[in-house]
Structure 1
Amino acid sequence: MISNLTYLYLLSPLHTGGTTQEGNLLGIARESHTDLPYIPSSTIRGRIRASTEVDKALQYRLFGTELSSAAQLEQGAIWIGDASILWLPIPSLSHGVIWISCPLLLQRWARLNRIEGAIPAEYSTNLPTQRPVYLKDAILKSSELKSWTSWETFLPQTVQAQTISIQRVLVLPDQHCATLIQMSLWRQVKIKLDAHKTVEGGFRYEEAIPPDTLMYFPWGVTSQANGTAQQARVDFEELLVSQSIVQIGGQESLGRGFVQQWLANSGSN
């Protein structure tokens, strides 16, 4: 069972390039089976690996060698998985901001985090159930809502988690959650100006995962550790702890991709 998790709380919009571009929309990376946004493991690995440039020995030990610097490629001691959404904020006319998730996303996190017990039912919420909830382009009647008192079980149980803003949560059906997440992505119009300050060519939209989204990624030690698994784990944890704020993805010059990063309780693979 995978038990090493790292949480990412977005401090600014985060853009990771997708594999396709439809018309003038530059999309973000999406899971092929759910169409939900995610951060590819290669993006996370590349960012963390870049922070070890001053210590090549540590870099090669954790992440492996490069063809340009070694006679042959060697696998490193650490593997890193894709980052998934746990809770994503959406606007609400009745409550300001509400963080949504769905049984699919909660079950995925519960499996990795060894959370036992039932996944909350659809329309479970810690909001008062006596009045309707107005979401972005959707209204939930009070008769649909189910009181959820154990909602904090599905948040990180760490000291660092006290710094996140998640207070109002709602579990939606998988399909409705995916639709609202799609509608709540940030979209920025980009244009190019010529020397005379007039628009040159067309324009495009760029998507981003909104700030205050809570995500996480699993990681562990590869079979190549060869008896050094514990030291590799310690080295990688120290590397993550030393970087509480990191910048991931593209558009760095626009201040995109800043995230707060912290470790969940570590355990054995």
Structure 2
Amino acid sequence: MIDYIYLYLLSPLHTGGTTQEGNLLGIARESHTNLPYIPSSTIRGKIRSTVTDKDIQDKLFGNDLKDGKQLEQGNIWIGDASILWLPVPSLSHSVVWISCHMLLQRWQRLKDCNLTIPAEYSCNFTNGQSAVYLKDAIIKAEHLKQWANWKDFVPQTLETSAINRVLILPDQHCTTLIQMSLWRQVKIKLDEHKSVDGGFRYEEAIPPDTLMYLPWGITSQANGASQKSYTDFRNLLAANSILQIGGQESLGRGFVQQWI
């Protein structure tokens, strides 16, 4: 059985990538889509650090090498976090959350549901008379289609109540707009005289108000302890509804609201 954890970003989130190109400090990206994601190891490590009971920690996540014991696998597995809806600034509609068939199909496959994904350019906020302006993109009114059951594709919780304008784009256009909508902060290093010491550096982050999700479940290692581990993990998440994931903690980055 696969369960899900949803993450609603409360602040920009930065998870370091494997490479740094020039003066750009990038974020972790999927190799086949180049889209941002949160590695499972980052999420697992953060949730593990919230456990104060060492026995429960070892049972759920496995023990450490420093324990001096033989390494054992924990009873919980955690997957990577993927984007479901990402906010994009709009000159015509303030903020619009975008997704695409590729992202919705991925979510639907893992969720094992049979919802019919609507056509490209379906949205819930058009009257058929006005165009939509998304950063440097303009979508003409005649291309937009009404989307009646959009709430089936957005978890209806208090955390997601702000997501009220959604739009499905073609895969390639959605990918481009996501790349353009990432936060990029300029960093400079100052010396003791408050003068610039070296060049500029740009750091990327996934924007706040992005909705992400990740799968989790019980490993085969759990055997007879599966139900207790399942309950312990759910209780652990319930006790830590807000987590801080990724780097730049001192700057207030990475705060997320999570729920099952």
Normalised TM-score (structure 2): 0.97
Q: Within 5 A, what are the aligned runs for 1:245-260?
A: 245-260=242-257
Residue 112 (structure 2) aligned to one of 108, 111, 114 = 114
RMSD: 1.0
Deviations 1:243-263 (A, max 9, x none): 111100000000000011111
2-structure distance, mates of 1:244, 1:149: 31
**Partner SS, residue 55 of structure 2:** helix
**Runs of 4 or more above 6 Å deviation:** none
Q: Name the aligned partner's letter for residue 102 of structure 1.
A: C
Normalised TM-score (structure 1): 0.94
CA contact (8 A) 1:15 1:208 kept: yes
Deviation for aligned residue 1:72: 1.1
Deviation for aligned residue 1:164: 3.6
Q: Name the aligned partner's letter for residue 222 of structure 2.
A: A
Deviation for aligned residue 1:113: 1.9
Deviation for aligned residue 1:135: 0.8
CA contact (8 A) 1:89 1:213 kept: yes
* Percentage of identical aligned residues: 71
Q: Name the aligned partner's letter for residue 23 of structure 2.
A: N
Match of 2:79 in 1: 81
Number of residue pairs matched?
A: 259
Structure 2 gap ranges (5+): none
1-structure distance, mates of 2:232, 2:69: 25
Q: Name the aligned partner's letter for residue 66 of structure 1.
A: D
Q: Does 1:215 find its partner at 2:212?
A: yes
Match of 1:267 in 2: none
Deviations 1:168-206 (A, max 9, x none): 000001100000000000000011100000011111000
Q: Does 1:243 find its partner at 2:255?
A: no
CA contact (8 A) 2:108 2:115 kept: no
Q: Does 1:58 find its partner at 2:89?
A: no
Q: Within 5 A, what are the aligned runs for 1:87-126?
A: 87-126=85-124
Q: Does 1:26 find its partner at 2:21?
A: no
| Range moving further from structure 2, 254-263 or 114-123 | 114-123
**Partner SS, residue 21 of structure 1:** coil
Q: Does 1:140 find its partner at 2:139?
A: yes
Deviations 1:77-115 (A, max 9, x none): 000000000000001010000000000001111112232
Deviation for aligned residue 1:156: 1.1
Structure 1 gap ranges (5+): 264-269
